[in-house]
Structure 1
Amino acid sequence: MPLRRLTGRNRSTAANWQLAALLAFTAGTVDVSGYLALRQFTSHMSGIVAAMAADIATRGLDILLQPAVVLGCFLAGAAFCAILVNWERRRNRESLFAVPVLLEALLLASLAFPLKGHHILLTLCVLSFSMGLQNAIITKVSHAEIRTTHITGMVTDIGIELGKALYWNRTTGRVPVHAERSRLLLLTMLVTLFFTGGTLGAFAYPHVGFLLMLPVAALLAVPTILPIATDLHLLSPS
């Protein structure tokens, strides 16, 4: 069943790319929505670190608090994902990848119902923790072959595959250079989905705010139901 494979324990290349597609779309939506709301990107840490370096020279140490919190929460999300996945793997759980995906969905959905006295820094913490969690999920399932919260690596890999495709194999007796066309197509799809998610955030956030996170969270949560239900059934007393 496709939904079970998407976040289930037993992985395939197709399931990894399908999950990556869903997460890339989510990351684009979250990144742009977070920027429109808080003027701070939360999914790609290279930009955060570069901004910290640039701002410290012009605006002093006080300006580092917000981006440092974002960086720390992204790191914490990735670390928590690793702890959670390894804990579930030791117990042979079917839902070892489904649980962190569901946790990300719940965190994003929580933003649609802000508490009284809703604080900017708390929202940043939730967004950046969620993105760290997400990037660690796809890193674990794909054995570090796929990332979804930033596109620098993907664009680099697209360039490499294009270079292979354009290479003229003139030398005989050598292994020819060939582009992995399927990988090129899939990487292009991920970049496109990140952009599509970002475009959705750009159009929808000004009208509905963080209510936009509810359908995004639902998309994440649906594929986690069957693996989690399987584990709950096995744990329930007979």
Structure 2
Amino acid sequence: MNSEDNLLAGIAGYVDTLSYVALFGLFTAHVTGNFVLIGAEAAGFGQGAFMKLMAFPAFVSGVAVSSVIVKRVEPATSNRAGCVLYIFQASLMLAFCLAGVGVSPVVHANGTPVIVCGMIGAAAMGVQNAHDRLVPRPGVPNTVMTGNVTQAVLDTVDILSQKMPSDARTVARTRLGKMLPTILAFATGAILGALAYQHVGFSALLLPCIALLCLALRTARGAQTQLDASATATDARKKPARPGRAADCHSERV
């Protein structure tokens, strides 16, 4: 699952940076950062405060609708639920891409089409934030790196400390090995997101769309494997028991 986390972290960094560059400092994945920007803009620094404020209910809507979808679908496997959410997020990401292309070049931060564009992006990343909580799986957070970086620093200190027990250092080393690739993937995605927007504009959002659809396809295959395994186990339980020693003993007594 670590490769899935790395790809999702790359998507989060990519989309968050692209939206920040394109939409006057709007965060879509790290939506709480918008509150900091709103506070700064209240003092006259920056622009687009209303768009950043509207990103919060859009983000919440993405989380809420994701929860409703998973409950309505009633998936037979966790992989099937994950597949549904990936498709839903890819659809919103495509809508974000089309809305961005439609408002380009973005000149006015408070224009209604621009605000709607930012809200769609925030909703898409709300789905990704909800994914890990709605579909439990082994992995690390992939949308906000603050906690991951904090844990990575703590684990590094533990690994270097000679006073730490060897088993504790082993646990820290294992956890650090999971955290670092995700952090690097997020940073790489952030750089690529800025460069992609610089060269192709909002059309660059087609890349995370494709990545999400690939994840959906891979997860769908995993769901089918789970269903096949479950069906095989059920068939095995339904097979009639073969005559055992009890029947043999009865024959001997006759």
The TM-score, its normalising length taken from structure 2, stands at 0.72
Is 1:207 paired with 2:192?
no
Is 1:66 paired with 2:51?
yes
| d(CA) in 1 for partners of 2:175, 2:167 | 18
Q: Would you say how many aligned residue pairs link Structure 1 and Structure 2?
A: 211
1:168 counterpart residue number: 162
| d(CA) in 1 for partners of 2:101, 2:36 | 33
Equivalent residue for 2:82, pick from 89, 94, 97: 97
1:124 counterpart residue number: 118
Is 1:148 paired with 2:134?
no
CA offsets 1:82-123 (integer angstroms, 9 cap, x no match): 2222333x3425521111111111221233334896411111
Is 1:195 paired with 2:187?
yes
The TM-score, its normalising length taken from structure 1, stands at 0.76
Shift of residue 144, structure 1, vs aligned partner? 9.1
- The unaligned stretches of length 5 or more in structure 1 are 1-14
1:55 counterpart residue number: 41
Shift of residue 29, structure 1, vs aligned partner? 0.9
Is 1:35 paired with 2:27?
no
Q: Which has the greater radius of gyration?
A: 2
Residue 97 of structure 2: SS of its match in structure 1? coil
CA RMSD after TM alignment: 3.0
| d(CA) in 2 for partners of 1:22, 1:184 | 18
Task: Kindly provide the amino acid, as one letter, of the partner of residue 72 in structure 1.
Answer: P
The verdict on how the C-alpha distance between 1:164 and 1:140 changes in structure 2, with shifts beyond 3 A counting, is farther
After alignment, is 219-228 or 160-169 more displaced?
219-228
| d(CA) in 2 for partners of 1:66, 1:141 | 30
Is 1:224 paired with 2:216?
yes
| d(CA) in 2 for partners of 1:116, 1:50 | 27
Identity %: 25
- The unaligned stretches of length 5 or more in structure 2 are 104-112, 228-254
